[in-house]
Amino acid sequence: MESIDDVVLNFSPTSLQILNAVLAIVMFSIAIDLTPGDFKRLLKAPKSLLVGLFSQFIVLPVVTFVMLLIAQPRPSIALGLIVVAACPGGNISNFITHRAGGNSALSVSMTAIATVGAIILTPVNIALWGNLYEPTREILRSTSIDPLQVAITVGLMLVLPLVLGITLNVMRPDLTSKINRPLQWLSMAIFTAFIALALGANWDFFLQFVGAVFALVFIHNALALLSGYLTASIFRLSAFDRRAVTIETGIQNSGLGLVLIFAFFQGLGGMAVVAAAWGIWHAISGIALASVMSRTEAAR
């Protein structure tokens, strides 16, 4: 049987461009629900926001590194987990936080600010932890990943739509109030369909290797959610804010992870299967957790 470290998935340059466009639309659909006032309010009381960003960009990568030292997975699987941990919060985190009865405004602002911060923090975390873990260091050396190029990719795909969406909401709130919900559902449907088609084109590979990664993805996601909860608890956030931080840490932008994997690592099998499995599982675990949390009202 072919090693997962040697498999390269079928993904054309055209498919990558389509995925970039789909993610940009998803980010735009979130941004048209934001105004500069959302950020100003958080700047007046920034503790919860800073704790959430700390949990996402510092705590989760550290926890991931410790998990790799213990589990010792195949190098491509390990680097896939590092890439997912280095990404900002996922676009469905806002929906799930709302379902959980958490602070939706905090969740949306965390997603937005983490997306901007990801221009620097995502490539830095990939380079730092990927080089510290010896088995993945060889992959990084062989691909010669350019942090600046990663930053440009993240900026064009996520930050530009974010700025355009907020600008449109400020200039035409009447229009954005009509299109924000339909556009969010449409963009998520397109994204889901695209991932399904990409999986279909590589179904044999996915079935062959998903068993090798699913247990690790399950544990990694559980650790991410637990890390968010414990970090928020240590800093004594309210239950209302704690739910947002928990979900924001446990729901990662695996779509961005896939883009980076196909753009800079040529769709390396273990990495791509990890990101795809994360994309499926974190939605299931997040919605399940939200249904449990929503049974009791969160204290503010």
Q: What is the CATH number of the domain that holds 283?
A: 1.20.1530.20
Strand segments, DSSP code E, in 217-279 are: none
Structural domain contains residue 116? yes
Report which of 285, 227, 237, 245 is spatially closest to residue 62, judged by C-alpha positions. Answer: 227
Q: How many domains does the chain have?
A: 1
State the average pLDDT over residues 243-265.
87
| CB-based burial label for 181 (10 Å; 0-12, 13-18, 19+) | exposed
Residue 8 located in a structural domain: no
Residue 241 lies in a domain: yes
- Mean pLDDT along residues 191-199: 70
Is residue 17 domain-resident? yes
Q: How big is the chain by its Cα radius of gyration, in Å?
A: 18
Q: What pLDDT shows up at residue 226?
A: 97
Whole-number pLDDT of residue 33: 74
Domain assignment of residue 244, given as a range: 13-292
Domain contains 78: yes
CA triple 279-39-168, angle to 5 deg:
80
Count how many Cα atoms sit within 13 Å of the Cα of residue 223 in the half-sphere of its side chain: 19
Evaluate if residue 220 carries a pLDDT over 80: yes
pLDDT at position 56 is 95
The answer, yes or no, to whether residue 14 has pLDDT greater than 70, is: no
The pLDDT > 90 percentage for the chain reads 29
Query: Quick one: which H or E segment has residue 6?
Result: none
- pLDDT tens track for 269-289: 788 888 888 888 888 899 899
In a domain, 224, yes or no: yes
Confidence at 1, pLDDT banded by 50, 70, 90: very low
Q: At what angle do helices 254-264 and 104-132 cross, to 10 degrees?
A: 30
Q: Tell me the C-alpha distance between 290 and 261, whole Å.
A: 29
pLDDT at 38 over 90: no
Tell whether 4 is covered by a domain.
Answer: no
More confident residue, 233 or 263: 233
The answer to whether 216 touches 225, Cβ cutoff 8 Å, is: no
Q: Which amino acid is at 59?
A: V
CB atoms < 10 A from the CB of 166, how many? 22
- 70 class by beta-carbon count within 10 Å (0-12 exposed, 13-18 middle, 19+ buried): exposed
Lowest pLDDT segment from 28-37, 102-111, 218-227, 231-240? 28-37
Tens-place pLDDT, residues 39-91: 676 677 689 999 999 999 999 999 999 999 999 998 989 999 999 999 988 77
- Does 3 reside within a domain? no
Query: Which pLDDT does position 227 carry in this prediction?
Result: 97
User: Residues 250-259: what's their mean pLDDT?
Assistant: 85
